Structure 1
Amino acid sequence: MTLCRLIAIALIPLLATPRTVQAQTATPTPKPPPPITRAAPSVEDVATTPLSDLNIRKKGVPDILIRAQAAPYGLTGMGRCSAIQKEVSKLNAVLGEDVDAARRSGRKVIPGKVAQDLVGGILPFRGIVREISGANAENRALQQAIYAGFARRAFLKGVGLQKRCGYPARPG
């Protein structure tokens, strides 16, 4: 047998494999990101604190919060309860549970927050570095967007209550 023929015979199973693999492999659904207002930072948040302080790692403002800033009390497209429920659910996914549904842990010390503060303490003159790098400005912009998101969610729940919508389009 020639070398070309051996290579061709070896490649035949590989050519048939993609269809088989594609049929057997389900595309995993991407895990939604955690709410940006969660109390306890993740391990990733703790590990990347110095990068955030230097404004190298930027989280950015989620699109729904940008829209909330632009029109926190807008009702365009919110004529039906289902639209209000969908919008409130999207806000809940980004902001975390609203005060009417939040469960209190009663815990005073949050280990992840302590770890993040310890890692953040490694950087000398952290406050000045954050200001110069723009990390504080980015954080202020995110906090303003979060505030607009809270206002939008509360407004929509009020509208949902008036329309007698079901939860989550009304307070629970």
Structure 2
Amino acid sequence: MDGSGFRFGCLALIGGLLLTGVAQAQTGRSDDKPKAEAPAPSRWGETRKRALDIGAQPVRDVGVMRREAPAILEQALADPYSLKGLKTCTQLAAEVRRLNEALGADFIVGNEVKESRVGKLAEAGGKTVINSIIPFRGLVREISGAAPAERHLDAALDAGLARRGFLRGVHYKQGCKTKF
């Protein structure tokens, strides 16, 4: 094995260990301690999703895999303030629910954000190791088209957030009582 292959193997091993640390830190589970109760499925699912997302970053960097914006976010990007086809309270609420599915839950006043410092440190370490696998990463991302694709996805997300806020305002202004 040449020097670069050895370094890649070491980095992959360290990345795997860090990702395992993310999973354990986020779920509070360690294999050498007996667990009193099973972690909540949604919390483990979120940790697993983050770990897989971190591990897949090099594949996205070289343009092999891309995250596509959902159709509703592409529509929002085209015209975030359109009310075409949204005349009734029910239609407005349905559109906000579709946006919620694509964007996740909306901001709730007074909601407390809970996060694990250990988990965030492990996640940052995992990202650092995984992202160091590709030399000249920024240039590779531009050439492969990964950076422009990510900028497009970010713009679609921003447009979706703007559209959801706009539609919630219209819903409120019309005096609608339907739930999102």
Q: In which range does the TM-score fall when normalised by the shorter chain?
A: 0.5 to 0.7
Q: Following the alignment from structure 2 to structure 1, what is the Cα–Cα distance between the partners of residues 179 and 123?
A: 29
Q: Counterpart of 2:67?
A: 59
Contact map agreement 1:65 1:148 (CA 8 A) in 2: yes
Q: Counterpart of 2:103?
A: 95
CA-atom RMSD in angstroms = 2.5
Alpha-carbon shift at residue 87 of structure 1 (Å): 0.9
SS state at 1:42 partner? helix
Q: Following the alignment from structure 1 to structure 2, what is the Cα–Cα distance between the partners of residues 130 and 55?
A: 7
Deviations, residues 75-116 of structure 1 (Å, cap 9, x unaligned): 112111111111111111111222236651255562445423
Selected match of 1:78 from 71, 86, 99: 86
Selected match of 1:162 from 155, 168, 173: 173
Change (3 A) 1:119 1:167: farther
Indicate the structure with greater helix content. 2
Q: After superposition, where does 1:82-161 map in structure 2 within 5 Å?
A: 82-100=90-108, 103-107=112-116, 110=120, 111-161=122-172
Contact map agreement 2:72 2:99 (CA 8 A) in 1: yes
Question: How does the TM-score come out when normalised to structure 1?
Answer: 0.67
For the pair shown, the structure with the greater C-alpha radius of gyration is 1
Unaligned runs of 5+ in 2: 1-45
The size of the alignment, in residue pairs, is 132
Unaligned runs of 5+ in 1: 1-37
Q: Following the alignment from structure 1 to structure 2, what is the Cα–Cα distance between the partners of residues 153 and 85?
A: 10
Identity of aligned pairs, percent?
34
Contact map agreement 1:54 1:135 (CA 8 A) in 2: yes
Deviations, residues 125-159 of structure 1 (Å, cap 9, x unaligned): 11111111111100111111111111100100000
